């Protein structure tokens, strides 16, 4: 066997080294892959034009702001039309990473981060444009519930701007631009901002958690499910392809919740806080067994638990829940509380009276969770269908 010369070994090693260097040069480093992924988050866009408005069936973004406006007394149908046309133009640009036509800070628009803008109409706007006959029967304030302590500053509105993205600067810029566009026709009534986990911080498809630590939204209509279209999208008149939106600001007593032990929390919800599984199951999406009895003859899932009260005769979900947490430090905190925090509960359904209201009536009657939650804001909006290029959101109403 011929021994390798020193020169041959060096040349061979050099060639191998060159090959390895070339290979590693073509293989992205982990930090480069992370940087690329982060850039994707910022550059991702959601189409604006289409049959339905974006921001409903869209996978929820990390940040959202909801702004309600009241029409000025002199705002007639023509003024409302002009406002909606410009709002549509602004939104179609901003959501694609371009500054609005009169954008004074277009630099802030270049990171769309899945920005969506969704418009909603209150009953007054619909009446001014098309008369009382065009107002859906469900487009009105919700019935009075015993647990409500509604505050005017979080209630009602003629026009809803729902702005969401995976970047908070993007949301703030878009909201300001849209409010500037609308101010000749409508004035701000209230503004609420919420958040979820940041994109990429947990596995896709993970159910959100509220600030009680609970999994929130397990029983839900989901895009792609057989019941989604029939449960969410309207087939009626000018609203065909649109939906309804209920927005409830629910203050949560986090300090009181702190004093409740884990078994008490699980009993109040009817699910384990640790993994979201029903008390009769092993996994989050297991079907609850409301007939199961414990060793002492009591239901394993108490009749007063949240999931027992929310359950109707038909176990299928009746609405799309798309909620956000809020934490407004001490602005609205009560005596002795260190924070004003809670949930911006959003429900989308074809008909509010068939979707949200029956569920809320049952919760109002006997939901133990009511001891730690108080609705302080409430609004109902019609969400018109999407539009095509050349049209505008709400054009079916005119």
Can you give the pLDDT at residue 145?
98
Q: What backbone phi and psi angles, to 5 degrees, belong to 331?
A: -55, -45
Parallel, antiparallel, or unpaired: how do β-strands 341-349 and 159-165 relate? Answer: unpaired
SS3 assignment, position 90: helix
Q: For 200-211, how does the pLDDT look when each residue is reduced to its tens digit (9 = 90+)? A: 999 999 999 999
Q: Does residue 207 lie in a domain region?
A: yes
Question: What domain range is 50 assigned to?
Answer: 41-397
Q: Does residue 7 lie in a domain region?
A: no
pLDDT above 90 for 23: no
Name the residue with tokens 């701007």.
Answer: 161
Can you give the pLDDT at residue 1?
45
Share of the chain above pLDDT 90, in %: 84
Can you give the pLDDT at residue 335?
67
Can you give the pLDDT at residue 330?
65
pLDDT band at 7 (very low <50, low <70, confident <90, very high): very low
pLDDT band at 313 (very low <50, low <70, confident <90, very high): confident
Can you give the pLDDT at residue 339?
78
Q: Does residue 22 lie in a domain region?
A: no
Can you give the pLDDT at residue 314?
77
pLDDT band at 101 (very low <50, low <70, confident <90, very high): very high
Q: Does residue 350 lie in a domain region?
A: yes
Q: Does residue 16 lie in a domain region?
A: no
- Note if 78 is an active site residue: no
Q: Does residue 343 lie in a domain region?
A: yes
Question: Are 308 and 266 spatial neighbours (Cβ–Cβ below 8 Å)?
Answer: no
Can you give the pLDDT at residue 317?
86
Mean pLDDT of 35-51: 84
Q: For 183-235, how does the pLDDT look when each residue is reduced to its tens digit (9 = 90+)? A: 999 999 999 999 999 999 999 999 999 999 999 999 999 999 999 999 999 99
Q: Which of 90, 103, 158, 216 is catalytic?
A: 216
pLDDT above 90 for 293: yes
How many independent structural domains does the chain possess? 1
pLDDT above 90 for 41: no
Can you give the pLDDT at residue 6?
42
Rounded to the nearest integer, the mean pLDDT of the chain is: 92
Q: Does residue 30 lie in a domain region?
A: no
Mean pLDDT of 21-41: 58
Return d(Cα 70, Cα 125) in angstroms, integer. 9
Can you give the pLDDT at residue 4?
43
Q: Does residue 160 lie in a domain region?
A: yes
Question: Are 268 and 305 spatial neighbours (Cβ–Cβ below 8 Å)?
Answer: yes
Return d(Cα 210, Cα 196) in angstroms, integer. 8
Give 104-142 as a DSSP string: S-GGGGS--TT-EEEEEE-HHHHHHHH-GGGS-TT-SPP
Question: Are 55 and 118 spatial neighbours (Cβ–Cβ below 8 Å)?
Answer: yes
Return d(Cα 165, Cα 62) in angstroms, integer. 6
Mean pLDDT of 2-29: 48
């Amino acid at each position: 066997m011929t021994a390798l010369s020193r020169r041959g070994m060096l040349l061979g090693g050099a060639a191998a080294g060159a090959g390895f260097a070339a290979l590693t040069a073509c293989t992205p480093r982990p930090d480069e892959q992370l940087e690329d992924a982060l850039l994707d988050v910022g550059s991702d866009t959601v189409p604006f034009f289409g049959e339905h408005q974006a921001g409903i069936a869209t996978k929820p973004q990390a940040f959202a702001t909801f702004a309600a406006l009241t029409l000025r007394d002199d705002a007639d149908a023509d003024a409302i039309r002009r406002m909606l046309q410009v709002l549509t133009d602004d939104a179609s640009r901003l959501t694609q990473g371009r500054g609005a036509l009169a954008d004074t800070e277009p630099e802030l628009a270049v990171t769309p981060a899945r920005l969506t803008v969704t418009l909603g109409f209150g009953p007054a706007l619909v009446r001014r444009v098309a008369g009382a006959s065009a107002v859906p029967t469900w487009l009105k304030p919700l019935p009075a519930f015993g647990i409500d302590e509604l505050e005017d500053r979080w209630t009602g509105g003629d026009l809803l701007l729902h702005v969401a993205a995976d970047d908070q600067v993007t949301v703030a810029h878009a909201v300001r631009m849209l409010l500037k566009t609308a101010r000749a026709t409508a004035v701000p009534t209230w503004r609420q901002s919420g958040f979820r986990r940041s994109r990429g911080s947990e596995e896709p498809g993970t159910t959100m958690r509220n600030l009680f630590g609970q999994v929130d939204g397990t029983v839900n209509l989901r895009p792609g499910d057989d019941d989604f279209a029939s449960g969410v999208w309207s087939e009626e008149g000018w609203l065909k392809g649109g939906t309804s939106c209920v927005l409830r600001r629910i203050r949560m007593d986090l300090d009181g919740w702190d004093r409740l032990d884990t078994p008490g929390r699980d009993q109040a919800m009817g699910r384990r806080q640790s993994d979201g599984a029903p008390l009769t199951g092993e996994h989050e999406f297991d079907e609850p067994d409301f007939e199961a009895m414990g060793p002492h003859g009591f239901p394993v899932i108490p009749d007063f638990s949240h999931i027992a009260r929310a359950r109707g005769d038909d176990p299928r979900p009746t609405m799309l829940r798309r909620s956000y947490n809020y934490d407004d430090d001490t602005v609205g905190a009560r005596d002795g509380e260190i924070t004003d925090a809670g949930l911006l509960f959003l429900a989308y359904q074809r008909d509010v009276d068939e979707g949200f209201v029956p569920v809320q009536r049952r919760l109002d009657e006997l939901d133990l969770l009511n001891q730690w939650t108080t609705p302080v804001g409430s609004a109902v909006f019609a969400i018109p269908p999407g539009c095509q290029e050349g049209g505008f959101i709400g054009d079916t109403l005119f």
